[in-house]
């Protein structure tokens, strides 16, 4: 049994395991493991899971819904800063609606999903109003999939240049989610080439199933959820973390080595 007053030790063990795999993948390709940021994707998981990961030294988190993040992060930040502890830092990694931008700009340290001119307009206006500009990554629909967010690759160069002029140093990189079920390598390569072309240092690519390959190809951020926090309900579900199916966290116990 997990003691509810103690941070879930399975999250600590999973984090250790992932950190080791990240370091190994980096060294295998002659890279410094410090050049790869682990973004722990806590979407659908309760604030207690984020608190547990924080207790095990994880500072950077990813969420895909502004409202869900608002329910977890401000309180954790207040508690941590009250104890003089850093973080949590928040990356927003989900499709962003313009009506959520004001909140996103207040809350996020990094917005990874800038993908259209209207969103750039909204971010610029909101940042001006808030007196605060998060770091920005442009999401590229690298596999040209109609159901996925991201700027189309054939419009990306133009959009990146426009955002660079507009946001200056706040624009730091590119993000992509390659198509599922096929070799992601060509897509990772394509994203890295695009980032190189524009002198953008951050490459956010790689998830639980493919992060080692992403690191080999030049990822500087990997976004990992399932392999740290366990399974999630199906994406279409509106279930809150409190109504997650029993045992959904138990997959942590059966992580592959």
Ligand X SMILES: *Cc1c(COP(=O)(O)O)cnc(C)c1O
- Does position 221 interact with ligand X (CB under 6 A)? The reply is no
Min separation Cβ 213 and ligand X, Å: 13
Min separation Cβ 3 and ligand X, Å: 26
* 120-128, 220-228, 236-244, 248-256 -> range binding ligand X (CB under 6 A): 220-228
- Does position 225 interact with ligand X (CB under 6 A)? The reply is yes
Whether 194 contacts 140, CB under 8 Å: yes
- Write out the DSSP string of 150-188: SB-HHHHHHHHHHHHHHHGGGEEEEE--PPTTS--HHHH
Min separation Cβ 79 and ligand X, Å: 25
* 22-30, 151-159, 184-192, 222-230 -> range binding ligand X (CB under 6 A): 222-230
- Does position 226 interact with ligand X (CB under 6 A)? The reply is yes
- Does position 93 interact with ligand X (CB under 6 A)? The reply is yes
3-class secondary structure, 7:
coil
Whether 8 contacts 52, CB under 8 Å: yes
- Does position 64 interact with ligand X (CB under 6 A)? The reply is yes
Q: List all residues 6 or more positions away from 160 whose beta carbon is below 8 Å from its beta carbon.
A: 138, 171, 174, 194, 198, 200
Integer Cα distance of 138 and 197 in angstroms: 14
- Does position 224 interact with ligand X (CB under 6 A)? The reply is yes
Whether 59 contacts 14, CB under 8 Å: no
- Does position 41 interact with ligand X (CB under 6 A)? The reply is yes
Residues that bind ligand X (CB under 6 A): 41, 43, 64, 93-94, 177, 207-209, 223-227
């Amino acid at each position: 049994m997990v003691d509810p007053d103690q941070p879930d030790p399975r999250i600590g063990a999973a984090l250790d395991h992932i950190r080791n795999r990240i370091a190994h993948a980096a060294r295998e390709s002659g890279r410094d493991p410090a050049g790869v940021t682990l973004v722990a994707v806590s979407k659908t998981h309760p604030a207690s899971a984020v608190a547990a990961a924080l207790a095990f030294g994880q500072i950077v988190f990813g969420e895909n819904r502004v409202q869900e993040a608002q329910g977890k992060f401000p309180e954790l930040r207040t508690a941590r800063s009250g104890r003089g502890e850093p973080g949590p830092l928040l990356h927003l990694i989900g499709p962003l609606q313009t009506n959520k931008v004001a909140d996103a700009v207040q809350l996020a340290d990094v917005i990874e999903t800038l993908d259209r001119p209207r969103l750039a307009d909204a971010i610029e206006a909101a940042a001006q109003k808030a007196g605060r500009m998060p770091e920005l990554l442009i999401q590229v629909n690298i596999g040209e999939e109609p159901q996925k967010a991201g700027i189309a690759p054939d419009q990306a160069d133009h959009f990146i240049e426009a955002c660079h002029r507009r946001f200056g140093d706040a624009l730091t990189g590119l993000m992509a989610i390659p198509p599922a079920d096929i070799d992601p390598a060509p897509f990772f390569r394509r994203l890295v080439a695009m980032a190189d072309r524009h002198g953008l240092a951050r490459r956010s690519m790689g998830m639980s199933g493919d992060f080692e390959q992403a690191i080999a190809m030049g990822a500087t951020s990997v976004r990992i959820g399932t392999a740290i926090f366990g399974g999630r309900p199906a994406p279409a579900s509106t279930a809150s973390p409190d109504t997650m199916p029993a045992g959904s966290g138990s997959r942590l116990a059966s992580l592959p080595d």
